[in-house]
Structure 1
Amino acid sequence: MPKDYYAHCIDVSDAKAVEAELEALLNQKIESVEELQTWLQAETTLSNRLSEVLMGHQVDFARDTEDEERKRIHLHDQAEIMPLLTRYEAKFNEKFYNCPFTKELDDSKYGLMKKVRFASLELFREENIPLEVKASELVTEYQALMAGLTVSWDGEQQTIPFVMAQVDSPVRSVREQAWTSLGEAYASVKPRVDEIMDELVKLRHQIAVNAGFENYRDYTWISKSREYSIEDIRKYHAAVEKYVVPVWDEIAEDFRASLGVESFRPWDNSNCTISKPPYDAIAELTDGVEKMLRATDPVFGDLFAQMNSTGLIDLGSRKGKGMGGFYVPFPVSNHGFVFANFSPSFFSLIALVHEMGQAVNLGFQLDKGDKWQHWRMEVAELFSHSMELLCLDKLNVLYTNEADYKEAIRQRIRRSIGMLMGPLAGDKFQHWMYENPNHTAAERDAMFAEIQKTYFAHPVDYTGYESRLGSSWVGTEHFFQSPFYQIEYAMAELGALQMLKNYREDPKAAIAGYKRGASADDSSLPISAIYESAGVKFDFSDELIQSTAEFVRRLWKSI
């Protein structure tokens, strides 16, 4: 596992040296609008150098959470460097805000920057820095705890991703065993995970109160510079319950009947209608995905081939490796890294295509050179989810059996309904958690179960496993590391389904729209304009949600 996939362009082990660079930049004189623009460029360059190394350390740790040196470096970054950067970010924002030439900057180019930086300045409180450090330490503990979990399977200790893949088994007894084994593994760490979440909620609530907010949800809305209101999201929750859940109930009933089971149990709610995984070895997966991406557009295939051949993709499962998957950009090296913890499964195939959608989007942004960037997940996830659907008709590259190919398409359509509900349920859960920061662990489980029954678990029979439903939030890293980063998935799926509709009508035009949107200026345009450039709407009105649900219903019935 080499560390040469990112540039070691600044030594962050010496916090005083880093501070000296930051202080020198802070003290630069600005006596014209041209000098302000030069200063902003220098700030971005330094920020990119720091981001390159800090992201690299994050990936190093995720690749082996049991390596004590990697963990020490990661914790040093969180405890020493990140607080330093937070302080200087506030100082830089204040310098920018007070500069007499800021008002002369063209709002069509710098308007979003002003909005984001002024909001960040408004939120900054010195007393929140140690609270944020403590929260980061708790997240690191959670990540290491989950990465260390194993399950006894056929006499051997297996990783969680391996057992997750067994939940897709066509043999019902095997998937039931896998599902219950995962529950037992999570239950073994649940007491400590509850304590971690209790502490995180209290810390984040105090951060919000210190900044003058009633709760952390309201604080987050400003920190993320969201372009929609809390009331918009409440209406979104209700519309999905009204229009999407009935379609999910229909699909679930079809699925139960096709399985020939009397009751639709939680271990049946998987990709179990496919006879076998799409690959046995990681090399088969990467070869297949490259072909799928190249058949969609040569640019996509070329990017994947370049990343795969230069060590920028790590997919296999191993003990101590972090859970989940992600793409991170390296702005100095002008490339990114795909990390995932995979065992052979339908999900791992879809997830790799998903991460490559983000690689295409952020790769286009990195190609614009040293410029201020504002990564918005509503944008990045649009291109991730859309890539999954644009590759839908190429699943036969890895599913060569016609029956499995058909089932793989059906499972991806079923995933669309899940992505319209699941992330939204997670978002609603977080609204409740941070609006009620003094809740107990038991109340948290009860609320999660209630919300799940409203959405994804609505047609599923959890008899005898009610407590498991309530505690199943434990395995969702987003709740710990990235609070309120879930609704973006549901928004992106709405856009991606529009893109699929465009693709079915005119593939070339849809691909052109995808590339046009992915390369749109994310540093200055509103989210709605980027979606529009891609040929879709950034919209979660009742009308669009209803029509999208009907589109998915028709897709399901047509296969």
Structure 2
Amino acid sequence: MTFNSFPYSRPDLEALQTELASLRSSLETAPAYDAFLQTMHQYDDLKSHVLTMTELAAIRHTLNTEDAFYRQENAWFDETMPLLEETFQSITDTILKSPFAPQLKEQLPETWFLAAEMDRRSFSPAIIGHLQKEAALSTAYQNLIASAQIPFQDRVWTLAELEQPMNHQDPAVRKEAALAYWGWFQENEPQLQDLLQQLVQVRTEMARALGFENYIDLGYLRMHRFDYDRQDVAVWRQQVLEEIVPLCQDLYEAQKNRLGVDTLPVWQEKAEFADGNPAPCGTTEQMTARAQEMYDALSEETGKFFREMCQRRLMDLDARKGKAAGGYCTWLPDFQAPFIFANSNGTQSDVETLTHEAGHAFQVWSSTPCFPASLAWPTNESAEIHSMSMEFFTWPWMELFFKDQADRYRFVHLSGAVKFLPYGVLVDHFQHEVYAHPDWDAKQRNACWRRLEKQYLPHKDYSGIDVLERGGWWLRQLHIFMDPFYYIDYTLAQVAALQFLARMLDGDESAFADYLRICRLGGSLCYRQLLKEAGLQVPFDDGCLQETAATLRQWFETHMPEAASR
């Protein structure tokens, strides 16, 4: 069955609540552990079905935000899921309080119980209205971004499509495209600022209703931070500032030398070479066929996985009018199907996004079926290890996409991975400040971003773009609106992925075997435990980032000097 034929039907809320109440009663009155476990399986199947319909409606809405039917269905789930969450939580409480819970703990991974406890602490019927409003505001941001229609040259572009001329070989075209891109954000800044203000307000009210001082601690619970806390994250940000920011400044200086310029205004920043960045050859269909060849060569498992993705049409890769921004991978448990969403635009990011989201999809494909179904996914900082590492494990086949520009691609990819780290911790630091100061207005938020930006990204030159000079870059970062505190995860995973790359470049044949093993583990281990299982250092540990920075410098000097000098 292909994605287009997956049947969708809105759940009957009254019937669903009746069935959930019956399952809860059966859990409470189960005469023996076997009966209790059987009912748990029934509940997990029912919850998985609801989540499948939720995700199916969300996917089809993001594929075309102008589709009236799925816009309505998505809005219905925005309203309904917080109501169902109350029932789900009551059933979880019943499971945790059951006399059979000790036996269950012997069978299920600790992570399920840690997540259940965090869910209990982060929910109350008192915040249902807040959750409904939060979901509606997040959807409003997504729809606003998707609605962008920007005149440029001889046609109208979406924000995703404008990435192509923003990477053009001609700096004049890059500048014109960047001005058009950021002009849209400046024009829509009041509405975007208002959306975030409302989101900060509703999340703060939610936190205080649950007894928290502000949203930060609640945000950590909702993100399932099992084995590290905000103090660990603050230390991590400081390590990036001390070890990675200086390395990035050296990379930017080398970039300016290659381009023959004295500064890097925003329209120059993505240009690594004077004659243009590497771009993949061919259409999306051709790129997908080459990806199949690559995954067949990488391993039997990855080849089988990607063939299934293609045959079942579980990918939508092209940018187009009305399509939501960004890229993601999600899971449809009823159909045992991952789904990859992207916005290809003819730049190198098409390959990065495909391999990144394929890493997510391969992991969840590898770890199912599992029980409970929620354990198919690890927590986000662990899940991003699978995606970011897949970007590097596919390096040997980049000639398929970039031909004689493959070395250049590898150089730009690695350089971008390193340069991302300061930006990633900047987004996280900004979110901590915003939720610590929920009464800030738009000017104060912008001033905070610009102050932190000068700390983590001191090379930034926003000449001629007022919205950026005032601190408005964050307006384009959807995670800040839709997934608060989901960003430090990328940086923690990136360092793990770079360790896999180091092992791969050193000829360590066990690196990919370790990667396959942690993909199969799904959500059964905490972040630190998963790293240990993969033979990787924990980024929080003393010396990890210092050692990584030194290794990265060596990579740039020894592995890719030819690409850097071309």
TM-score by shorter chain over 0.5: yes
Equivalent in 329, 336, 339 of residue 337 of structure 1:
339
> Does structure 2 conserve the Cα–Cα contact (< 8 Å) formed by 1:57 and 1:70?
yes
> Does structure 1 conserve the Cα–Cα contact (< 8 Å) formed by 2:61 and 2:71?
yes
Q: What is the Cα deviation at residue 547 of structure 1?
A: 1.1
SS at match of 2:402: coil
1:207-286 to 2 correspondence within 5 Å?
A: 207-226=206-225, 227-273=227-273, 274-275=276-277, 277-286=279-288
Q: What is the Cα deviation at residue 351 of structure 1?
A: 0.8
Match of 2:563 in 1: none
Match of 1:396 in 2: 399
Letter in 2 for 1:343: N
Letter in 2 for 1:191: P
Q: Check 1:351–1:5 CA distance in 2 against 1; reply closer, same or farther (3 A cut).
A: farther
Match of 2:308 in 1: 306
Are residue 425 (structure 1) and residue 426 (structure 2) matched?
Answer: yes
For structure 1, the residue ranges without an aligned partner over 5 or more in a row are none
Match of 1:162 in 2: 161
> Does structure 1 conserve the Cα–Cα contact (< 8 Å) formed by 2:309 and 2:315?
yes
Match of 1:17 in 2: 15
> Does structure 2 conserve the Cα–Cα contact (< 8 Å) formed by 1:346 and 1:408?
yes
- CA distance in 2: counterparts of 1:71 and 1:99, whole angstroms: 40
> Does structure 2 conserve the Cα–Cα contact (< 8 Å) formed by 1:264 and 1:461?
yes
Letter in 2 for 1:338: I
Letter in 2 for 1:43: Y
> Does structure 2 conserve the Cα–Cα contact (< 8 Å) formed by 1:7 and 1:52?
no
Q: What is the Cα deviation at residue 451 of structure 1?
A: 1.6
Which whole-Å deviations, capped at 9, do the CAs of 1:250-273 have from their partners, x for residues lacking one? 000001100111212221111452
Q: Check 1:102–1:17 CA distance in 2 against 1; reply closer, same or farther (3 A cut).
A: same
Q: What is the Cα deviation at residue 60 of structure 1?
A: 0.5
Q: What is the Cα deviation at residue 95 of structure 1?
A: 0.9
Match of 2:410 in 1: 409
Q: What is the Cα deviation at residue 448 of structure 1?
A: 1.1
- CA distance in 1: counterparts of 2:362 and 2:5, whole angstroms: 18
Q: What is the Cα deviation at residue 141 of structure 1?
A: 1.0
- CA distance in 1: counterparts of 2:364 and 2:537, whole angstroms: 20
> Does structure 1 conserve the Cα–Cα contact (< 8 Å) formed by 2:378 and 2:522?
no
- CA distance in 1: counterparts of 2:5 and 2:94, whole angstroms: 35
- CA distance in 1: counterparts of 2:277 and 2:240, whole angstroms: 32
Q: Check 1:136–1:122 CA distance in 2 against 1; reply closer, same or farther (3 A cut).
A: same
Q: Check 1:54–1:371 CA distance in 2 against 1; reply closer, same or farther (3 A cut).
A: closer
Q: What is the Cα deviation at residue 418 of structure 1?
A: 2.4
1:46-445 to 2 correspondence within 5 Å?
A: 46-80=46-80, 82-107=81-106, 109-226=108-225, 227-273=227-273, 274-275=276-277, 277-368=279-370, 371-373=373-375, 375-401=378-404, 404-445=405-446
Residue range with higher mean Cα deviation, 525-534 or 513-522: 525-534
Match of 1:528 in 2: 528
- CA distance in 2: counterparts of 1:451 and 1:354, whole angstroms: 28
Q: Check 1:241–1:275 CA distance in 2 against 1; reply closer, same or farther (3 A cut).
A: closer
Are residue 468 (structure 1) and residue 471 (structure 2) matched?
Answer: no
- CA distance in 2: counterparts of 1:45 and 1:295, whole angstroms: 36
> Does structure 1 conserve the Cα–Cα contact (< 8 Å) formed by 2:3 and 2:314?
no
> Does structure 2 conserve the Cα–Cα contact (< 8 Å) formed by 1:239 and 1:542?
no
Match of 2:564 in 1: none
Q: What is the Cα deviation at residue 372 of structure 1?
A: 4.6
Residue range with higher mean Cα deviation, 409-418 or 381-390: 409-418
Letter in 2 for 1:418: K
SS at match of 2:523: coil
Letter in 2 for 1:481: M
Q: Check 1:498–1:3 CA distance in 2 against 1; reply closer, same or farther (3 A cut).
A: closer
Q: What is the Cα deviation at residue 522 of structure 1?
A: 1.9
Residue range with higher mean Cα deviation, 534-543 or 206-215: 534-543
Letter in 1 for 2:48: N
Are residue 45 (structure 1) and residue 45 (structure 2) matched?
Answer: yes
- CA distance in 2: counterparts of 1:542 and 1:454, whole angstroms: 22
- CA distance in 2: counterparts of 1:531 and 1:73, whole angstroms: 39
- CA distance in 2: counterparts of 1:35 and 1:149, whole angstroms: 54
Which whole-Å deviations, capped at 9, do the CAs of 1:358-400 have from their partners, x for residues lacking one? 1111111224466452531112100100011111232111111
Which whole-Å deviations, capped at 9, do the CAs of 1:111-141 have from their partners, x for residues lacking one? 3222221222223221211111011111111
SS at match of 2:157: strand
Letter in 2 for 1:233: V
Residue range with higher mean Cα deviation, 367-376 or 510-519: 367-376
Residue range with higher mean Cα deviation, 151-160 or 103-112: 103-112
Q: Check 1:411–1:5 CA distance in 2 against 1; reply closer, same or farther (3 A cut).
A: farther
- CA distance in 2: counterparts of 1:538 and 1:42, whole angstroms: 38
Q: Check 1:302–1:507 CA distance in 2 against 1; reply closer, same or farther (3 A cut).
A: farther
> Does structure 2 conserve the Cα–Cα contact (< 8 Å) formed by 1:271 and 1:346?
no
Q: Aligned pair count?
A: 551
- CA distance in 2: counterparts of 1:400 and 1:372, whole angstroms: 41
Sequence identity of aligned pairs in percent?
23
SS at match of 2:440: coil
Match of 2:32 in 1: 32
Letter in 2 for 1:208: A
Letter in 1 for 2:99: P
Match of 2:547 in 1: 547
Residue range with higher mean Cα deviation, 47-56 or 99-108: 99-108
Q: What is the Cα deviation at residue 41 of structure 1?
A: 1.6
- CA distance in 2: counterparts of 1:506 and 1:34, whole angstroms: 48
Q: What is the Cα deviation at residue 182 of structure 1?
A: 0.6
- CA distance in 2: counterparts of 1:37 and 1:113, whole angstroms: 15
Which whole-Å deviations, capped at 9, do the CAs of 1:35-80 have from their partners, x for residues lacking one? 3322222221111111111111110000000111110010011112
Q: Check 1:46–1:290 CA distance in 2 against 1; reply closer, same or farther (3 A cut).
A: same
- CA distance in 2: counterparts of 1:67 and 1:12, whole angstroms: 16
- CA distance in 2: counterparts of 1:542 and 1:260, whole angstroms: 39
Q: What is the Cα deviation at residue 26 of structure 1?
A: 1.5
SS at match of 2:150: strand
SS at match of 1:138: helix
SS at match of 1:149: coil
SS at match of 2:108: helix
- CA distance in 2: counterparts of 1:3 and 1:398, whole angstroms: 26
Q: What is the Cα deviation at residue 110 of structure 1?
A: 4.3
- CA distance in 1: counterparts of 2:331 and 2:283, whole angstroms: 26
Residue range with higher mean Cα deviation, 286-295 or 482-491: 286-295
- CA distance in 2: counterparts of 1:272 and 1:67, whole angstroms: 39
- CA distance in 2: counterparts of 1:506 and 1:47, whole angstroms: 44
For structure 2, the residue ranges without an aligned partner over 5 or more in a row are 561-566
Q: Check 1:299–1:543 CA distance in 2 against 1; reply closer, same or farther (3 A cut).
A: same
Letter in 2 for 1:499: F
Residue range with higher mean Cα deviation, 94-103 or 544-553: 94-103
Q: Check 1:372–1:191 CA distance in 2 against 1; reply closer, same or farther (3 A cut).
A: closer
- CA distance in 1: counterparts of 2:409 and 2:509, whole angstroms: 24
